[in-house]
Amino acid sequence: MQYYISKTTVQIKDGKLDGYEEVLTRPDKLKPTREMLRRMRAIGIENIHLCEHPKNSRRLGKLSRASTARRKEVKMTNADVAEIVEQFEKDQENSEKSE
C-alpha cells in the first residue's frame, strides 16, 4: 500500500468559509511517509495528515490538478494595464499640483 501527506487549509474568504486540501508528497511506503510526517510536524507545519493511496484511486490526481490551478498566475489584460497607467497619471498630476 502507498501513502502520501496532504495539508488541509480552511479560511474565511469574502465572508464565506473556504477550504481545500493540497498534496505535499508523492505516494511512498508507510515507513518513509511517516518519517516525513514527523519531520514536517517538527518544523511546525500544521494541519497535515497521512492519506492512503489505493492503486485505483483518482483522488491524488484531482488534488494535484486543483492545487496547480490555484497556483497559476492570473495574466494581465490590456485593460488592466490601461487602468494602472491611468491611475499612475492621476497620481502624478495630484503630486505636481500639491508641490
Mean of all residue pLDDT scores within the chain: 90
Average pLDDT over residues 31-55: 95
Share of the chain above pLDDT 90, in %: 63
pLDDT band at 80 (very low <50, low <70, confident <90, very high): confident
How buried is 23 (Cβ within 10 angstroms: 0-12 exposed, 13-18 middle, 19+ buried)?
buried
Helices (H) and strands (E) in the chain, counts: 3, 3
Q: Is the pLDDT of residue 23 over 80?
A: yes
Please tell me the predicted confidence (pLDDT) of residue 99. 65
**pLDDT average, residue stretch 51-80:** 87
**Does pLDDT of 69 surpass 80?**
yes
Segment 72-86 mean pLDDT:
86
Lowest mean pLDDT among 4-18, 25-39, 74-88: 74-88
